Structure 1
Amino acid sequence: MEENRKDRDPLIGGDDPALDPFEIEFLPEFRSGRGPEAPFVNSHGVVIGDHDYVSAQSPLENWSIETDPAVMAGDEWVHPFKDIGFQTDENRDYFERGIAPKGGIFMHPDKNTGYGAAENDDLPQGGKSG
């Protein structure tokens, strides 16, 4: 399987030396409206997209018992073009080749993970129908 990937995958950063090491060759439909291509500074003063993962302003460098992990959630912590997560096979297939991910790989057909998400007065006590 590895041999097949080598035949069709560019090296990390693509074969284009103008690409950043974590940037992939997005199809045109995924480039438009995506956000800034250059590194940017988020609301915490941390530069995102420069691959210098140690920043004096980062909550990770100033972590304490009082730090709420939610401060590091959201789009301001992920670069729209230069994130290492784009290097996964699934993401490269989707964003570079337009191959949609296989459905159901995270599904549990014998489990109703949505149960209780909405109130349903029609179910008997104990939550099981029928």
Structure 2
Amino acid sequence: MGKGKEDDPSLDPFEIAFLPEFREGRGPHEPFVNEHGVVIGDHDYDSPDSPLNQWSTDTDPAVMAGDQWVHPYKDIGFQTAENREYFEQGIEPQAGIFMHLDKNSAYRAGDPLLSTEEESPKQPE
């Protein structure tokens, strides 16, 4: 069996072989410190100032959301089959893979709210 891109020894274990069009303007290859003082790209995410190490009932989980928590080359999310196919081979993800084909989640969206005494019509089958 030949060596594929996934077997490239120069890549970090969390890194994939991006096609050239996905390498431009991505950011640094090396780990960096984000605005919260957490090293991103070292795979530990265990800096003393990390919200994970300061967590309490008062911590807003949104503080852990956003691009400042994602390394542009070494994020575990790149390892999914869909992301590898897209970034390494240029295969677009299939649309609708997370849809409920038998449910219309927008059914009656925008309709006025019914009083509690009125019966809500059932979604058509």
1:45 maps to 37
- Given candidates 25, 28, 38, the residue that maps to 1:36 is 28
1:23 aligns with 2:15: yes
CA distance in 1, matches of 2:31, 2:92: 28
Cα distance change of structure 1 residues 34 and 108 upon mapping to structure 2, 3 Å threshold: same
Residues 1-130 of structure 1: pairs in structure 2 closer than 5 A? 9-11=4-6, 14-15=7-8, 17-115=9-107, 119=110
Could you tell me which runs of 5 or more consecutive residues in structure 2 were left unpaired when the two chains were aligned: 115-119
Residues 23-68 of structure 1 show CA distances to partners (whole Å, capped at 9, x for unaligned) of 1000011111222222111110001011123221111111111111
Task: Give the residue type in structure 2 aligned to 1:89.
Answer: A
Cα distance change of structure 1 residues 32 and 72 upon mapping to structure 2, 3 Å threshold: same
CA RMSD of aligned residues (A): 2.7
2:27/2:72 contact within 8 Å kept = yes
CA distance in 2, matches of 1:94, 1:8: 19
Please state whether the residue corresponding to 1:94 is helix, strand or coil.
helix
Could you tell me which runs of 5 or more consecutive residues in structure 1 were left unpaired when the two chains were aligned: 1-5
Percent identity, please.
66
Aligned residues: 119
CA distance in 2, matches of 1:34, 1:62: 29
Normalised to the residue count of structure 2, the TM-score between the two structures is 0.78
Please state whether the residue corresponding to 1:112 is helix, strand or coil.
coil
